[in-house]
Amino acid sequence: MSDADLIELEEEEYTSQLTAPVFNRIVGLLKPHWKWVAGFFITIALTSATDAYFTYLNKDIVDKGIILGDTAALTRIAWIYGSIILFQAVTVFLFVYLAGVLGERVQYDLRKMLFNHLQELSLSYYAQNAVGRLIARVTSDTGRVADLLTWGVVDTTWAAMNIITSVTFMAIINWKLALIVFTVIPVMIYIAVQFRKRILVEYRTARRTNSKITGAYNENFQGVRVVKALMREDENTREFQQLTSTMYRSAYRAAWLSALFLPTVQIIAAIALGLIVGYGGTQISLGLMTIGGIQAFVSYLTFMMWPVQDLARVYAEMQHSIASAERIFKLADTPPEVHDRPDAVEAKTLMGEIEFDHVDFYYEDRKPVLTDFSLKVKPGDMIALVGPTGGGKSTIVNLLCRFYEPREGLIRINGRDYMDYKLASIHSRIGIVLQTPHLFSGSVRDNIRYGRLTASDEEIIQAAKIAGAHDFIVTLENGYEQNVGEGGNLLSVGQKQLISLARAVLARPELFIMDEATSSVDTLTEALIQRGMEALMKGRTSFVIAHRLSTIRRANRIIVIENGKIAEQGTHSELLRLGGHYYRLYTQQFRHELETQYGLAEAVGIEEKEMEAEPEAMAAD
């Protein structure tokens, strides 16, 4: 199932209630903008009051202008009417404008806060959370919370104000008749909320089932070969039928409840209207009420029906917004697993000795990755890490970069626990070139400059020359200004890797790490990368992970990692002479490369000659 499907399923299953802590935090988002909030409430209150006053003026039009025939009163009312319309136009503009700006400001604050927090979170958090979910937090969830605090508040405030102002004017006209309406309003609100609750339950069931149907589509289409091979067609059809039946029943009940909701409210309103007309007629006959007053009461009651329905609708939408707010707060409250100690100091240099002292490490599944791992590295050494996939090679460099920290044991730099140093001072002194290079949207020049933002154009070109990237860059249509596309998709893997290496060269790292950087490139590009590596590694401590063993033959020390432990270590010649794990890895790969290039028969002959010549190579080394 895709990230989008997972997000949809998560949102439908995630329900929440508005608790005091959540409410306080949501309201707290408005505190920095309290002036805008105050202006918004004032203008929407004025708009609602003028709406209610229009109906009161209609009463005077009937009683004074039409029944009594008072033309002077009609003229006066017309002027008042026109003035209020102009006044209301201004207040409507202001409250819509203030709500829009307030929503954008809240959303800006949320996105900025989340993005900054995501920058601080450790690598382990990203390993446990899908990218799609994190994007949803920063985009859709912040949008929903902003809408709740603006347009949700607009609808709620507008509905509440309309009810309050309508009831107020009804009490002014005839307080006894207003009491009838007072008894109807709570009933209408209760019924509206209950209907919305039931509709929301059915709607969520339908959406949840729809996500499962989408997953069934994906699995059947992508796994059609397996389905047919195992003759699962009939069983899959039955399962799919069950899902579609469940969704149909939920959607049917939601549609039925929605259709029943409005007539129910209308029946209650009709009962109230009957009581108003009946009691009002008695009041008219006694001379205690006018025809215009009855007409105003009917208008006010009709005027309140839509706000009641709006409150029920806003309540349903609020459930999603509250859930979004809780997900945002949960992310914001997540502490980084790796963080600076209160007394952390600046690391002046990483050029000293590096030591892994009895390090144990496991990820969240608690399956051991490194066990009692110890290693000392002298300044300026090139350390090559080799071994089977999953042995712990990448974990070693991740720990060294302090993307993670040891569960047990210590890592020392310059004889001091590296947790005593500030994270930024460690990261700023490390250069990394990964197996899968990542470029950012923009030009080649911008991507190289990412290694050091203050670098001049001349320094960028020099770094590209050292990395072996300059020659291909100048052949591009726009040279260093060439757009690399999203993720560098307009360039080949080898070109992206060379630019990544140039970026590392420009950063002038004290510690250099190369993680499978040549595994996905051709031999010509590999030779360019190796030359760039040699220039970059000169005088620097470096760690290299490689499957292509030719990349690390010149290492000062080769560490063979198996099952989280050091199986062997030594130089290339020493390990070949030992005839153990490294010897098998080297000979297997050497034979595979020869077979690929020359064929099996010729490969065997070449291999024998090369191995016979190896003692001379050892002596030369």
Per residue in 405-438, pLDDT (tens digit) is: 899 999 999 888 999 988 888 888 888 877 777 8
Give how far Cα 392 sits from Cα of 398, 559, 561, Å. Answer: 10, 11, 7
3-state secondary structure at position 385: strand
Token pair 């990820």 is found at 363
Please answer whether residues 321 and 25 qualify as being in contact, where contact means their C-beta atoms are separated by less than 8 angstroms.
no
Longest dimension (CA), the chain: 125
Reported in sequence order, the residue ranges of 121-251 that DSSP labels E, i.e. its strands, are none
- CB-based contacts of 243: which residues, under 8 Å, 6+ apart? 209, 212, 213, 216
Summarize the confidence of residues 166-192 as an average pLDDT.
Answer: 79
Strand partners, 430: 511
User: Comparing 38-42, 43-47, 212-216, which segment has the lowest mean pLDDT?
Assistant: 212-216
Mean pLDDT of all residues in 163-183: 81
Give the pLDDT confidence score for residue 90 in this predicted structure: 93
What tokens were used for 199? 């509709």
The pLDDT of residue 19: 64
The answer to whether domain 343-429+511-570 and domain 436-508 are alike in fold is: yes
Asked whether the predicted pLDDT for residue 323 surpasses 80, the reply is: no
pLDDT at 313: 66
pLDDT tens by residue, 344-363 = 888 888 888 899 999 999 88
**Most confident residue range from 299-303, 308-312, 493-497:** 493-497
Cβ-contact 315, 196 below 8 angstroms: yes
Q: Provide the pLDDT confidence category of residue 211 given band limits of 50, 70 and 90.
A: low
CB atoms within 10 A of CB 343: 6
Residue pair 568/581 in contact (Cβ under 8 Å)? The answer is: yes
- Percent of the chain past pLDDT 70, that is, above it, reads 83
User: Which of the listed CATH numbers 3.90.110.10, 3.40.640.10, 2.40.30.170, 1.20.1560.10 matches domain 3-9+18-332?
Assistant: 1.20.1560.10
pLDDT digit string (tens) for 151-163? 777 778 888 888 8
Q: Classify 490 as helix, strand or coil.
A: coil
pLDDT (mean) for 232-252:
78
The distance of Cα 597 from the centroid of its chain, to the nearest Å, equals 46
Residue carrying structure tokens 């215009």: 292
| Rounded CA separation 501/532 (Å) | 7
CA atoms of 449 and 503, how far apart (whole Å): 7
CA dihedral of residues 410, 411, 417, 421 (deg, nearest 10): -130
Rounded to an integer, the average pLDDT of 181-209 is: 75
Taking phi first (over 0 means left), then psi (-120 to 50 degrees means alpha), and beta for anything else, what does residue 402 get?
left
pLDDT at 598: 46
CATH topology of domain 343-429+511-570: Rossmann fold (3.40.50)
**pLDDT score at 537:** 74
pLDDT(604) > 70 = no
Q: Say how many C-beta atoms besides its own lie within 10 A of residue 228's C-beta.
A: 10
Do 123 and 398 meet the contact criterion of CB atoms below 8 Å apart?
yes
Q: Does domain 436-508 have CATH number 3.30.300.30?
A: no
pTM reported for the whole predicted model? 0.69
Q: Where are the domains of the chain?
A: 3-9+18-332, 343-429+511-570, 436-508, 572-621
Long-range pairs for 320-324: beta carbons < 8 A, 24 or more residues apart: 320/11, 320/144, 321/144, 321/145, 321/147, 321/148, 321/152, 322/16, 322/17, 322/18, 322/22, 322/26, 322/148, 323/11, 323/14, 323/15, 323/16, 324/140, 324/141, 324/142, 324/144, 324/145, 324/148
CA dist., res. 338 & res. 316, Å (int): 40
Q: Is the pLDDT of residue 7 over 50?
A: no
Cβ(29)–Cβ(334) below 8 Å: no
For residue 4, what pLDDT band results from cuts at 50, 70 and 90?
Answer: very low
SS3 sequence, 330-365? HHHCCCCCCCCCCCCECCCCCCCCEEEEEEEEECCC
Residue 470 pLDDT greater than 70, yes or no: yes
C-alpha–C-alpha distance, residues 59 and 81, integer Å = 13
Contact 213, 247 (CB under 8 A): yes
Which residue type sits at 460? I
Residues 385/396, Cβ–Cβ less than 8 Å: yes
What is the pLDDT of the chain when averaged over all its residues? 79
Give the per-residue pLDDT at 177. Answer: 78
pLDDT at 621: 43
